[in-house]
């Protein structure tokens, strides 16, 4: 089970510490956020005390109507030994009784001026990303025209060299050789580089190159959604390749299907240029334009025209 320190959440999301700065080493292992509702009325039967507790306008205005004694009782039950932290949204100031009890149980109180729902989404998305289980796969991940393209193929086929040419064309590197992937949601796979390989590429005959140092900050990116997989295969006259683009393939990455195309590699083929066109064509399809259907429509019209000419 992965964990993350509250200190890292505060630093990465640029939140403010209201109290308990010395307790920021506390950890959280759940990406879900709890907004105490029924708990503030005294119902703690199913209280998720091991999650970050978020207070917004509804929670703060509700406890303001309680007596100091009632607040003391509720906050004593709310602040548990394993409660990671308490977050107060919209710039509200936490009640004195909550601050007292949080200090007693060594729970940091984090403050933000961001609206509650938006803040909940920001923290939850960050935790989902950081706590997600990573899987390492072989390939080169580049961002081409804003699309995450994973280039795969057997060793020596030219994946890194193709990735390097794409970078020289102005596209961005995410990871070379090994790509760490994780599932962001039911339809989205995110890819990133292992820390040891971040911004680095291995080019046979040259060695390790630092892409960011050679090509600038705009040539790299830390992570991206994988939208398309390009599988490089050595050209074979005996194998049939899709020439119209009508065959739809996909590959499972962390149990999420991702569209896949196969590109035959042979001498004289500019694979980087082909991948650029493939990325543009994929984006056009997602926007509703399909060149294959246009070709089929043109073919049907031509057949009909020839048929009518023959009848005359």
Please return the burial class of 252, using the count of CB atoms within 10 Å of its CB with bins 0-12, 13-18 and 19+: exposed
Question: Domain for residue 299, yes or no?
Answer: no
Catalytic-role residue among 35, 101, 172, 177: 177
Q: Which of 115, 131, 147 is the last residue of a domain?
A: 131
Task: State whether 157 and 279 are in the same domain.
Answer: yes
Catalytic-role residue among 2, 58, 138, 239: 138
Flag whether 218 is marked binding: no
Flag whether 159 is marked binding: yes
Question: Domain for residue 217, yes or no?
Answer: yes
Task: State whether 163 and 281 are in the same domain.
Answer: yes
Question: Domain for residue 176, yes or no?
Answer: yes
Question: Domain for residue 248, yes or no?
Answer: yes
Location of structure tokens 């990116």? 221
Q: Which of 131, 151, 176 is the last residue of a domain?
A: 131
Flag whether 157 is marked binding: yes
DSSP string covering 11-76, please? HHHT-EEEE-GGGTT-EE----EE--SGGGGT--TT--TTSEEEE-HHHHHHHHTS-HHHHHHHHH
Flag whether 155 is marked binding: yes
**Is 260 considered catalytic here?**
no
**What distance lies between CA 303 and its chain's CA centroid?**
47
Tell me: the pLDDT tens digits for 36-69? Answer: 999 999 999 999 999 999 999 999 999 999 999 9
Across 271-276, average pLDDT: 94
Question: Domain for residue 295, yes or no?
Answer: no
CA proximity to 149, closest of 222, 259, 228, 225: 228
Flag whether 250 is marked binding: no
pLDDT score of 222 more than 90 = yes
Task: State whether 109 and 167 are in the same domain.
Answer: no
Flag whether 202 is marked binding: yes
Location of structure tokens 């936490």? 94
Flag whether 154 is marked binding: yes
pLDDT at 301: 72
Task: State whether 86 and 175 are in the same domain.
Answer: no
Tokens of 145: 């025209």
Tokens of 50: 């091991």
CATH classification at residue 113: 3.40.1390.20
Task: State whether 102 and 199 are in the same domain.
Answer: no
Flag whether 226 is marked binding: no
Tell me: the pLDDT tens digits for 154-171? Answer: 988 999 999 999 999 999
Q: Which domain holds residue 231?
A: 135-290
pLDDT band of residue 31 (cuts 50, 70, 90) is very high
261: which strand partners?
A: 230
Number of domains in the chain: 2
**Is 138 considered catalytic here?**
yes
pLDDT score of 20 more than 90 = yes
End-to-end CA distance of the chain: 76
pLDDT band of residue 249 (cuts 50, 70, 90) is confident
Task: State whether 148 and 61 are in the same domain.
Answer: no
Flag whether 93 is marked binding: no
Task: State whether 264 and 167 are in the same domain.
Answer: yes
Task: State whether 31 and 120 are in the same domain.
Answer: yes
Specify the pairing of strand 147-152 against strand 223-234.
parallel
Phi and psi (nearest 5°) for 186? -65, -20
pLDDT at 295: 65
**Is 293 considered catalytic here?**
no
pLDDT score of 248 more than 90 = no
pLDDT at 91: 95
CATH classification at residue 259: 3.40.50.300
pLDDT score of 7 more than 90 = yes
Tell me: the pLDDT tens digits for 170-218? Answer: 999 999 999 999 998 888 999 999 999 999 999 888 999 999 999 999 9
Question: Domain for residue 312, yes or no?
Answer: no
Q: Which long-range contacts (CB under 8 A, 24 or more apart) does 55-59 make?
A: 55/86, 55/87, 55/88, 55/89, 55/92, 55/94, 56/89, 56/90, 56/92, 56/115, 56/116, 56/117, 56/119, 57/89, 57/90, 57/92, 57/116, 58/116, 59/35
Tell me: the pLDDT tens digits for 116-155? Answer: 999 999 999 999 989 988 899 999 999 999 999 999 999 8
Question: Domain for residue 210, yes or no?
Answer: yes
Task: State whether 73 and 195 are in the same domain.
Answer: no
Location of structure tokens 């040259």? 206
Task: State whether 52 and 178 are in the same domain.
Answer: no
pLDDT score of 302 more than 90 = no
Q: Which of 108, 131, 154 is the last residue of a domain?
A: 131
**Is 26 considered catalytic here?**
no
Task: State whether 142 and 223 are in the same domain.
Answer: yes
Question: Domain for residue 163, yes or no?
Answer: yes
Residue 217 DSSP one-character state: G
Task: State whether 121 and 199 are in the same domain.
Answer: no
Tokens of 237: 């006259």
Catalytic-role residue among 101, 159, 172, 199: 159
> Which letter, b or e, does each residue of 221-245 get, where b requires 16 or more Cβ atoms within 10 Å of its Cβ?
bebbebbbbbbbbeeeeeeeeeeeb
Please return the burial class of 262, using the count of CB atoms within 10 Å of its CB with bins 0-12, 13-18 and 19+: middle
Kindly provide the residue ranges of all beta strands, DSSP E only, lying in the chain, ordered along the sequence.
4-5, 16-19, 27-28, 33-34, 52-55, 86-88, 109-111, 135-138, 140-144, 147-152, 172-175, 178-185, 188-192, 200-203, 207-210, 223-234, 249-253, 256-265
Look at 288 and 39; give whichever has higher pLDDT.
39
Look at 158 and 248; give whichever has higher pLDDT.
158
């Amino acid at each position: 089970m992965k964990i993350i320190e509250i200190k890292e959440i505060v630093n990465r999301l640029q939140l403010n510490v209201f109290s308990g700065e010395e307790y920021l080493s506390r950890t959280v292992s759940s990406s879900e956020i709890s907004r105490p509702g029924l708990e503030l009325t005294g119902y703690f039967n199913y209280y998720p005390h091991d999650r970050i507790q978020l207070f917004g306008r509804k929670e703060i205005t509700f406890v303001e109507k309680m007596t100091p004694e009632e607040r003391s009782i509720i906050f004593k039950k709310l602040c548990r030994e394993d409660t990671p932290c308490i977050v107060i949204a919209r710039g509200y100031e936490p009640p004195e009784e909550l601050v007292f009890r949080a200090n007693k149980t060594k729970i940091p109180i984090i403050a933000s001026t961001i609206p509650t729902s938006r803040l909940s989404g920001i923290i939850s998305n960050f935790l989902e990303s950081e706590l997600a289980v990573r899987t390492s796969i072989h390939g080169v991940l580049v961002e081409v025209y804003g699309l995450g393209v994973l280039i795969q193929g057997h060793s020596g086929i030219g994946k890194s060299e193709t990735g390097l040419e794409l970078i020289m064309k102005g596209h961005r590197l995410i990871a070379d050789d090994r790509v760490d992937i994780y599932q962001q949601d039911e339809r989205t796979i995110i890819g990133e580089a292992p820390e040891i390989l971040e911004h680095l590429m291995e080019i046979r005959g040259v060695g390790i190159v630092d892409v960011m140092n050679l090509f600038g900050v705009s040539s790299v990116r830390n992570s991206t959604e994988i939208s398309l997989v390009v599988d490089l295969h050595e050209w074979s006259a005996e194998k049939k390749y899709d020439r119209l683009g009508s065959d739809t393939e996909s590959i499972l990455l962390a149990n999420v299907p991702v569209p896949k195309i196969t590109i035959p590699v042979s001498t004289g083929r500019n694979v980087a240029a082909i991948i650029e066109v493939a990325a543009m064509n994929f984006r056009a399809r997602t926007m509703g334009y399909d060149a294959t259907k246009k070709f089929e429509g043109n073919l049907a019209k031509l057949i009909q025209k020839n048929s009518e000419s023959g009848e005359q």
